[in-house]
């Protein structure tokens, strides 16, 4: 019984570590600093490469606009333009 209790305790400790998010490295290009500073404040950067097969420049513009208008992301106009440009050039379909 003691072995079971120790194994159970070890599993409880290990599970959160196993569930840790994989670190995402975005393509190094102009604007990546704006993306990293603004986007990951609210969500994982994994969404960017995950959605890139589906989004072109128009769709990235709409996505960034949605984050600002619908979700209240505090991104100023200059950063918004840099983020959209970065996403369209590096993760556009």
Which residue ranges form the domains of the chain, and what is each CATH number?
24-91 (1.10.760.10)
d(CA 93, CA 89): 9
User: Which residues, including other chains, have CB under 8 Å from residue 27's CB and lie 6 or more apart?
Assistant: 90, 91
Radius of gyration of the chain measured on its C-alpha atoms: 19
Q: How confident is the model at residue 93 (pLDDT cuts 50, 70, 90)?
A: confident
Q: How confident is the model at residue 10 (pLDDT cuts 50, 70, 90)?
A: low
73: nearest Cα among 42, 47, 49, 51: 42
Share of the chain above pLDDT 70, in %: 76
């Amino acid at each position: 019984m003691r072995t079971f209790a120790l194994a159970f305790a070890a599993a409880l400790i290990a599970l959160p570590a196993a569930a840790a998010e994989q670190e995402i490295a975005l393509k190094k290009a102009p604007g990546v600093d704006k993306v990293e500073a603004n986007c990951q404040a609210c969500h994982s950067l994994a969404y960017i490469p995950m959605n890139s097969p589906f989004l072109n420049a128009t769709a990235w513009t709409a996505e960034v606009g949605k984050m600002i208008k619908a979700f209240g992301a505090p991104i100023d106009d200059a950063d918004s333009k840099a983020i959209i440009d970065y996403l369209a050039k590096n993760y556009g379909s």
